[in-house]
A and B are shown apart, each in its own frame.
Chain A
Amino acid sequence: MPKDLSVKRVMVIGSGPIVIGQAAEFDYAGTQACRSLKEEGVEVILVNSNPATIMTDKNIADRVYIEPLTAKVLEQIIDKEKPDSILPTLGGQAGLNLGMELEESGFLASRGVRLLGTTASTIRKAEDRQEFKDTMERIGEPCAASLVVESVEDGVAFTRSIGYPVVLRPAYTLGGSGGGIAHNQTELENILENGLRLSRVGQVLVERCIAGWKEIEYEVMRDGAGNCITVCNMENIDPVGVHTGDSIVVAPSQTLSDKEYQMLRSAALNIINELQITGGCNVQFALHPASFEYCVIEVNPRVSRSSALASKATGYPIAKVAAKIALGYTLDEIKNAITGKTYASFEPALDYCVVKLPRLPFDKFITAKRTLTTQMKATGEVMSICDSFEGALMKAIRSLEQHVDSLLGYDFSALSREELEERLKKVDDQRIFVIAQALRKGVDYDTIHEITMIDRWFIDKISILVEMEQALKEGPLTVELLKEAKRIAFPDCVIGRLTGKSEEEIKKLRYRNGIVAAYKMVDTCAAEFEASTPYYYSVYGSENEAVETNPPKKVLVLGSGPIRIGQGIEFDYCSVHATWAFAKAGYETIIINNNPETVSTDFDIADKLYFEPLTPEDVESIVRLEKPDGAVVQFGGQTAIKLTESLMKMGVPILGTKAEDVDAAEDRELFDRILEQTRIPRAAGGTVYTAEQAKEVARRLGYPVLVRPSYVLGGQGMQIAISDEEIEEFMNIINRISQDHPILVDKYLQGKEIEVDAVCDGTDILIPGIMEHIERTGVHSGDSISVYPAPTITDTVKEKIAEYTRRLAKALHVKGLINIQFIAIGEEVYVIEVNPRSSRTVPYISKVTGIPIVDLATEVIIGKTIRELGYEPGLQREADYFAIKMPVFSFEKIRGAEISLGPEMKSTGECLGIAKTFNEALYKAFLGAGVDLPRHKQMIITVKDADKGEAIEIGRRFEKLGYTIYATRSTCNALKEAGVHAKKVNKISQESPTVMDLILGHRIDLVIDTPTQGRDKSRDGFLIRRTAIETGVNCITALDTARALVTSLENKQEQFTLIDVASI
Chain B
Amino acid sequence: MVGRIVGLVCCLLCAFPFLVIGIYNRDSIEPVNFWSGDTSLKDKVKDVKGYNTEMTGLYKKCAFFFLMAGILFVIFPIAGIFLLKPSCSCAIIKRLCRRTAKKGSRYQMKAFLILEDGTVFEGTHIGADKEIISEIVFNTSMAGYLEVLTDPSYAGQAVCMTYPLIGNYGICLEDMESGRAWPDGFIVRELSRNASNFRKDITIQEFLNNQGIPGIAGIDTRALTKILRRKGTMNGMITTDASYDIHSILPRLKEYTTGRVVEKVTCTEKYTIQGSGGAGWRVALWDFGAKDNIAGSLVRRGCDVTVYPARTEAGKIIEDKPDGIMLSNGPGDPKECTQIIREIKKLYDTDIPIFAICLGHQLMALATGADTFKMKYGHRGGNHPVKDLETGRVYISSQNHGYVVDMDKLDPAVAVPAFVNVNDGTNEGLKYTGKNIFTVQYHPEACPGPQDSGYLFDRFIQMMQTKKGE
Contact call B169/A332, Cβ cutoff below 8 A: no
Stretch from B31-39, B313-321, B354-362, B385-393 at the A interface = B385-393
Contact flag A343-B446 (CB < 8 Å), given A226-B393, A229-B385, A353-B164? no
| A543 touching B385 in the complex, CB below 8 Å, given contacts A351-B163, A528-B229 | no
List the B residue with the shortest CB-CB distance to A346: B385
Among B7-15, B78-86, B194-202, B243-251, the stretch that binds chain A is B194-202
Interface 9-mer from A258-266, A622-630, A755-763 = A258-266
- Main SS of the interface on chain B? loop
A252 within 8 A of B: yes
**10 residue pairs, one from A and one from B, having the closest CB atoms:** A258-B144, A460-B194, A347-B383, A457-B196, A526-B162, A345-B385, A290-B198, A349-B140, A258-B448, A542-B220
* Given A457-B196, A527-B226, A528-B140, A341 contacting B162 (CB threshold 8 A): no
Interface check B394, CB cutoff 8 A: yes
Are A332 and B223 in touch, CB under 8 angstroms?
A: no
Q: Is the CB of B198 within 8 A of A332?
A: no
Whether A527 and B194, one on each chain, are in contact in the complex, defined by CB atoms closer than 8 angstroms, is no
> With A388-B190, A456-B194, A543-B223 known to touch, is A255 a contact of B169 (CB < 8 Å)?
yes
Instruction: Please state if B223 and A343 are interface contacts (CB–CB under 8 Å).
Output: no
Decide if A225 is an interface residue (CB 8 Å cutoff). Answer: yes
Nearest-Cβ distance from residue A445 to partner chain B, whole angstroms: 8
User: What would be 30 A-B contacts, judged by CB atoms less than 8 Å apart?
Assistant: A227-B393, A227-B395, A229-B396, A252-B142, A252-B143, A258-B143, A261-B144, A262-B449, A262-B450, A266-B451, A290-B198, A341-B423, A342-B422, A343-B423, A345-B396, A347-B385, A349-B141, A349-B163, A351-B140, A351-B164, A353-B165, A387-B189, A457-B169, A457-B194, A460-B192, A460-B196, A520-B222, A525-B140, A527-B229, A545-B222
Closest to B454 in A: A266
- Residue-wise interface mask of A (449-480) relative to B, using a CB-CB cutoff of 8 A (1 in contact, 0 not): 00000011100110010000000000000000
A90 on the interface (CB 8 Å rule)? no
Q: Taking A345-B396, A456-B194 as given, write out 6 further A-B residue pairs in contact, using a Cβ cutoff of 8 Å, ordered by the A residue number.
A: A256-B143, A343-B422, A351-B222, A464-B193, A526-B225, A529-B229
Whether B168 is near chain A, meaning CB under 8 Å from some CB there, is yes
Closest-CB distance, A325 to chain B (whole angstroms): 13
Q: What is the CB-to-nearest-CB distance from A68 to chain B, in angstroms, rounded to a whole number?
A: 42
Give the interface size class of chain B. Answer: 35 or more
A321 part of interface (Cβ distance < 8 Å): no
B175 within 8 A of partner (CB): yes
Q: Mark B118-140, 1 if CB is under 8 A from A, else 0.
A: 00000000000000000000101
Checking A257, A341, A461, A528 against B169 with a beta-carbon cut-off of 8 angstroms, the contacting residue is A257
Known contacts A254-B168, A460-B196; is-contact A227 B220 (Cβ 8 Å): no
Which residue on A lies nearest to B381, using beta carbons?
A: A349
| B253 CB within 8 Å of chain A | no
Q: Is the CB of A343 within 8 A of B385?
A: yes
Q: Is the CB of B393 within 8 A of A225?
A: yes
Tell yes or no: A239 within 8 A of B by CB.
Answer: no
- Report the nearest B residue to A259, measured CB to CB: B175
B147 interface residue per 8 A CB criterion: yes
Per-position binary interface string of chain A over residues 218-248, scored 1 when its CB falls under 8 Å from any chain B CB and 0 otherwise:
0000000111111000000000000000000
User: A526–B140 contact, CB under 8 A?
Assistant: yes
Question: Is residue A166 within 8 Å, beta carbon to beta carbon, of the partner chain?
Answer: no
Smallest CB gap from A456: residue in B: B196
Measured CA separation A346–B384 after assembly (Å): 6
Residues of A within 8 A of B266 (CB): none
Which residue on B lies nearest to A233, using beta carbons? B142
In B179-218, which residues have CB < 8 Å from any A CB? 189-190, 192-199
Chain A stretch 332-374: residues in CB contact (< 8 A) with chain B: 332, 341-343, 345-353
Which residue of the partner chain B has the closest CB to A527? B225
Check A300 for interface membership: any CB of B closer than 8 A: no
Contacts of B164 in A (CB 8 A): 351-353, 387-388
> Is B283 an interface residue, CB under 8 A from the partner?
no
| C-alpha spacing A543/B121, complex, angstroms | 11
- Specify the main secondary structure of chain A where it touches its partner: loop
The residues of B that contact A26 with a CB separation of less than 8 Å are: none
- Name the distance in Å between B138's Cβ and chain A's nearest Cβ: 8
Judge if A253 is at the interface, Cβ distance under 8 Å.
yes
Given contacts A258-B448, A520-B222, A527-B226, contact A332 B422 (CB under 8 A): yes
A422 to chain B, nearest CB (A): 25
Q: How far is the CA of A257 from the CA of B144 in the complex (A)?
A: 6
A254 and B170 CA atoms in complex are apart in Å by: 11
Kindly report which residue of chain B lies nearest to residue A265, judged by CB atoms: B450
Q: Would you call B220 and A526 a contact (CB within 8 A)?
A: no
B contact residues around A528 at 8 Å (CB):
138, 140, 162, 225, 229, 377, 381
B452 lies within 8 A of chain A by Cβ: yes
B62 at interface (Cβ–Cβ under 8 A)?
A: no
Residue tally, chain A, CB below 8 Å to B: 57
- Chain A residues whose C-beta falls within 8 Å of the C-beta of B197 in the assembled complex: 255, 257
Contact flags A296-332 to B (C-beta < 8 A → 1, else 0) = 0000000000000000000000000000000000111
Min CB gap A236→B, angstroms: 15
| Residues in A whose Cβ lies below 8 Å from that of B192 | 457, 460
Task: Confirm or deny: A78 has a beta carbon within 8 angstroms of a beta carbon on chain B.
Answer: no
For the complex, what is the distance from the CA of A530 to the CA of B190, rounded to whole Å? 24
Is A389's beta carbon under 8 Å from chain B? yes
The residues of A that contact B396 with a CB separation of less than 8 Å are 228-230, 345, 347
Is A186 on the interface with B (CB-CB < 8 A)?
A: no
A449 CB, nearest partner CB in chain B, Å: 9
Instruction: Among A227, A228, A252, find the residue whose CB has the most chain B CB atoms closer than 10 A.
Output: A227
On whether the beta carbons of A261 and B385 are closer than 8 Å, the reply is no
Contacts of A352 in B (CB 8 A): 164
B174 and chain A: residue at smallest CB distance? A259
Asked if A550 is an interface residue, CB under 8 A from chain B, the answer is no
A346: chain B residues within 8 A (beta carbon): 383-385, 422-423
Among residues 523 to 549 in chain A, which have CB atoms less than 8 Å away from a CB atom of chain B?
525-530, 541-543, 545
Chain B 6-44 interface 0/1 with A at a Cβ cutoff of 8 Å (1 = within): 000000000000000000000000000000000000000
B383 near A254: Cβ-Cβ < 8 Å: no
A754 to B396, CA, bound (A): 59
Distance in angstroms from A664 CB to nearest chain B CB is: 47
- How far in angstroms is the closest Cβ of chain B from A918? 56
Query: Contact: B422 with A351, CB < 8 Å?
Result: no
- For A130, list chain B residues within 8 Å (CB): none
A118 to B403, CA, bound (A): 40
Residue contact B194 to A291, C-beta cutoff 8 Å:
no
> B168 is contacted by which of A255, A345, A349 (Cβ under 8 Å)?
A255
Q: Is B447 an interface position by the 8 A CB rule?
A: yes
Question: With A and B bound together, what is the CA distance between A262 and B450 in angstroms?
Answer: 6
User: What B residues does A350 contact at CB under 8 A?
Assistant: 142, 163
| Interface residue ranges of A265-282 to B (CB < 8 Å) | 265-266, 269
A285–B144 Cα distance when bound, in Å, is: 20
Residues in B153-173 with C-beta less than 8 Å from chain A: 162-165, 168-169, 172
CB distance from A575 to the nearest CB of B (A): 29
A271, B368: Cα distance in complex, Å: 42
Interface mask (A107-122 → B, CB under 8 Å = 1, otherwise 0): 0000000000000000
Which of A226, A227, A229, A349 has a CB less than 8 Å from the CB of B142? A349
- A257–B143 CB distance below 8 A: yes
| B169, closest chain A residue (CB) | A257
Q: Mark A507-530, 1 if CB is under 8 A from B, else 0.
A: 000000000000010000111111
Tell me, yes or no, whether A289 is within 8 Å of chain B by CB: yes
Docked-complex contact B165 and A388, CB < 8 angstroms: yes
Give A748 Cβ to nearest chain B Cβ, in Å.
56
A352–B164 Cα distance when bound, in Å, is: 6
Q: What's the nearest-Cβ distance from chain B to residue A462, in Å?
A: 11
Q: Complex: how many Å from CA A1017 to CA B385?
A: 64
Give the complex CA separation of A252 and B168 in angstroms.
12
Residues of A within 8 A of B452 (CB): 228, 266, 269
Give Cα A977 to B446, complex, Å: 82
B450 and A289 within 8 A (CB) = no
Output the least CB separation between A963 and chain B (Å): 60
Chain A residues closer than 8 Å to B446, beta-carbon distance: 262
